[in-house]
Amino acid sequence: QGTRIGFYSTTCPNAETIVRTTVTSHFGSDPRIAPGLLRMHFHDCFVQGCDGSVLLAGPNSERTAGANTNLRGFEVIDDAKTQLEVACPGVVSCADILTLAARDSVTLTQGQRWEVPTGRRDGRVSLATNVNNLPSPSDPVAIQQRKFSAFRLTTRDLVALVGGHTIGTAACGFFTNRIFNSTGNTADPTMDQTFVPTLQRLCPQNGDGSARVDLDNGSGNTFDTSFFNNLSRGRGILQSDHVLWTNPTTKSIVQEFMASSSNFNVQFARSMVKMSNIGVKTGRSGEIRRVCSAVN
Ligand code: HEM
Ligand SMILES: [Ca+2]
Ligand SMILES: [Ca+2]
């Protein structure tokens, strides 16, 4: 028993519209929620499957784990859930709301829309100690591949999904080791050296490690292939993104996506549907939460 397109078509026909309208209105007042929700969905799926576990609040929940402290958009999911409980009480899962919101975030930033299979149910467990499958920005390609293949995601899925970094930002603290060495000069000679001073200005040494920089320099608000062009020019921000251009296998996929935005869009949509089906709870397992931040 899996997910399917239109799972709510009879039980809550306006479900997808309500999610889209809610995400759109929050996006209007703060566009940062688009990358926020896309990343939150990834962090949900890689920990206990796409079951809304990342949304549960409380001591020692996933939200309190280091990798999740900068997640944003929880209030968007809560808002959509409140409206859905009025329209169709007890029907639409928080895991599906997050999956739909991630898709809508891509469309709002001018990416291509895809149909999202629904029917996920919500998990009842959320433990910070379970947040250990997520890739780290210092992971070499082989480790990234291993972490994705653990969920049957291929190298092509990996490159497409990391293309999600075409929108959003990273805190300076995640990459200052690349732009300064102990003497204050650039530490990574494989980066575009003309870009280093820009990054050093945005992220001064011993400055505020929580200041943020676009992951896709010059195009952080638009879902496009500019991110891959930046990788090819040595302008990847995270080490984990940068190395996708140095490994021959991932490099050829990056080149393909640079050459064809439609190849990227089609692959991104397919890979998102695959990722969105990791470990889903359907049928009688899990529950439909009344409030997304707490189990029933
Ligand atoms: C090797 C895999 C990945 C690594 C190492 C990685 C790492 C990171 C890091 C370190 C940040 C910055 C976080 C912060 O400063 O708050 C980030 C941001 C982000 N990641 Fe990833 N990521 C990976 C894969 C993905 C995937 C698969 C997606 C979604 C499809 C994704 C979507 C995002 C988005 C949209 C942001 C920006 C968040 C915002 O602006 O609030 N990432 N990622
Ligand atoms: Ca989860
Ligand atoms: Ca972009």
| Confidence at residue 183, expressed as pLDDT on a 0 to 100 scale | 67
Q: Which long-range contacts (CB under 8 A, 24 or more apart) does 180-188 make?
A: 180/205, 188/239, 188/242
Q: Six-digit token pair at 17?
A: 């519209």
Per-residue model confidence (pLDDT) at position 181: 76
CA-nearest residue, atom 33 of ligand 1: 39
Supply the pLDDT for residue 185: 66
Q: What is the pLDDT along the chain (296 residues), one digit of tens a residue?
A: 699 999 999 999 999 999 999 999 999 999 999 999 999 999 999 999 999 999 999 999 999 999 999 999 999 999 999 999 999 999 999 999 999 999 999 999 999 999 999 999 999 999 999 999 999 999 999 999 999 999 999 999 999 999 999 999 999 999 999 998 766 666 788 899 999 999 999 999 888 889 999 999 999 999 999 999 999 999 999 999 999 999 999 999 999 999 999 999 999 999 999 999 999 999 999 999 999 999 99
Ligand sitting nearest the alpha carbon of 165: 1
73's tokens: 């958009």
Minimum-distance ligand to the CA of 261?
3
Contact status, residue 77 vs residue 13, Cβ threshold 8 Å: no
- How high is the pLDDT of residue 188? 85
Q: Reply yes or no on whether 43 is catalytic.
A: yes
pLDDT at residue 95, as a whole number: 98
How far is 292 from 98, CA to CA, in rounded Å?
10
Contact criterion met (CB below 8 Å) for 244 and 162: yes
Shortest-distance atom of ligand 1 to CA 169: 40
- Using alpha carbons only, give the angle 119, 124, 128 rounded to the nearest 5 degrees: 120
Domain with CATH 1.10.420.10 in the chain: 141-272
Ligand 1 mean position, distance from CA 165 (Å): 6
Ligand 1 pocket (Cβ < 6 Å) reads 35-36, 38-39, 42, 70, 72, 135-137, 139, 144, 161-162, 164-165, 167-171, 174, 238, 240
Q: Does domain 141-272 have CATH number 1.20.1250.20?
A: no
pLDDT the model gives residue 219: 98
Q: What is the pLDDT of residue 80?
A: 98
> Which atom of ligand 1 has the smallest separation from the CA of 174?
10
Active-site hit among 26, 41, 43, 165: 43
Counting ligands in written order, the one closest to the CA of 121 is 2
Q: Whose CA is nearest to atom 40 of ligand 1?
A: 168
pTM of the model: 0.98
Nearest CA to ligand 1 atom 18: 170
Residue 51 pLDDT: 98
Distance in angstroms (rounded) separating the CA atoms of residues 147 and 75: 29
Torsion of CA 164, 186, 192, 174, to 10 degrees: 0
**Spelled out in words, what is the top-level CATH class assigned to the domain 4-134?**
mainly alpha
Residues of each domain in the chain carrying CATH 1.10.520.10: 4-134
